[in-house]
Amino acid sequence: AKELLRQSDKLSALGQLAAGIAHEIRNPLTSLRGFVQLLQSSLDDNQKRYCEIMLSELDRINFIVSELLVLAKPQGVKFQQKDLAKIVEDVLSFLDSQANLNNIQIHTSIHSQLPLISCEENQLKQVFLNICKNAIEAMPEGGEIYVQVAQDSESEVSVRIRDTGCGIESAHIPRVGEPFYTTKENGTGLGLMISSRILEDHGGSIHIESQRQQGTTVSVLLPISRYT
Ligand code: ADP
Ligand code: MG
C-alpha cells in the first residue's frame, strides 16, 4: 500500500494559526510550571504527588506546543543552497546513540556530489528526525534502518528511509499525517503532518509504503536547486 501525503493548502493557514496559538500558550505555561514547583515544596507527601502529576501534564502540553511551533515559518531565515547528503548525515549522527541503545543498526547508501537543493536546513533536519524517530519507535525489539540518498531524476533528489518495524495496516496509511493521528500511547500525531507541511514549503513531497509486520519505507523527494 502506498500513499502520497498531501494535506493541501488548508494546512498552511491552519499551521500558521496553530503556531501562533502555541506561541501564546508558552508563556503562561512556563509561569504555571514555576508556581506549581514552588507550591510543591510546602506540601505534604500526598499533595506532593498531585503536584508531580500536574508537572508531568504541563510537560506534556509543553511538548505538544513545541511540536506545533515548528509550523511557524522561520522568521528572517532564508532558503540556502545546501547539500542534502550532509543534512541527512548530520541527523543520522545525532541519532546514532539512540539507535544503538535500541539495538538498531543504521545502514547508509549516500551518493556524494549530488546537486544542491534550496532549503531551510533546520526545518529539513526536523523532517528527517521525525521520520527516523518513527522508524526507531516502530522497532521496540531492535532492527534495521536503511537510508538512501540519491538523485532520482534530472530535477529531483530523494531520501528513502526504510525500517524493518511493525509496519502500518494498509487501511490506516491514508490517516498517517492527519493532525493528531497517532497509534502510540505517548504520540502527538503531529510529526508527519508537520513534515509534509515543511516539504510542501520546499516544493517537495513525502510518500509512505508499508507492509504490516514487514516494515515501512518513507520517501522524501526534493527539487534540485536550478529547478525551484
Ligand atoms: P507520532 O509519532 O507522534 O504518533 P507521527 O505523525 O510521527 O506521530 O506518526 C503518525 C503515525 O503513523 C504513528 O503513530 C504510526 O502509527 C504511524 N507511523 C509513522 N511512521 C511509521 C513507521 N516507520 N512504522 C510504523 N508506523 C509508522
Ligand atoms: Mg512521530
Q: Is the C-beta atom of 3 inside 6 A of ligand 1?
A: no
Beta-carbon contacts of residue 160 (< 8 Å; ≥ 6 apart) = 146, 147, 148, 150, 217, 218, 219, 220
Range in 18-32, 110-124, 172-186 the model is least confident about? 18-32
Q: Is the C-beta atom of 215 inside 6 A of ligand 1?
A: no
Query: What was the pLDDT predicted at 38?
Result: 94
- The one-character DSSP state at 77 is P
pLDDT tens track for 47-105: 999 999 999 999 999 988 888 887 776 555 678 999 999 999 999 999 999 999 999 99
Q: Is the C-beta atom of 166 inside 6 A of ligand 1?
A: yes
Location of C-alpha cell 498517517 = 176
- CA–CA dist 228, 224 (Å, integer): 7
ipTM for the predicted complex comes to 0.99
Q: Is 133 helix (H, G, I), strand (E, B) or coil?
A: helix
Location of C-alpha cell 504527588 = 49
Query: What was the pLDDT predicted at 16?
Result: 75
Give the mean model confidence (pLDDT) for residues 139-152. Answer: 97
Q: Is the pLDDT of residue 20 over 90?
A: no
Beta-carbon contacts of residue 99 (< 8 Å; ≥ 6 apart) = 105, 106, 136, 145
Query: What was the pLDDT predicted at 211?
Result: 96
Helices 191-201 and 45-69, packing angle to 10 deg: 20
47 Cα to the center of ligand 2, angstroms: 34
Q: Is the pLDDT of residue 185 over 60?
A: yes
Q: Using alpha carbons, select from 157, 140, 139, 138 the residue that is nearest to residue 149.
A: 157
Q: Is the C-beta atom of 7 inside 6 A of ligand 1?
A: no
pTM for the model stands at: 0.84
35 Cα to the center of ligand 1, angstroms: 35
Q: Is the pLDDT of residue 8 over 50?
A: no
143 Cα to the center of ligand 2, angstroms: 17
Helices (H) and strands (E) in the chain, counts: 5, 8
Q: Is the C-beta atom of 132 inside 6 A of ligand 1?
A: no
Query: What was the pLDDT predicted at 174?
Result: 93
Please give the mean pLDDT across all residues of the chain.
90
Q: Is the pLDDT of residue 10 over 60?
A: no
Residue nearest (by alpha carbon) to ligand 1 atom 12: 176
Q: Is the C-beta atom of 189 inside 6 A of ligand 1?
A: yes
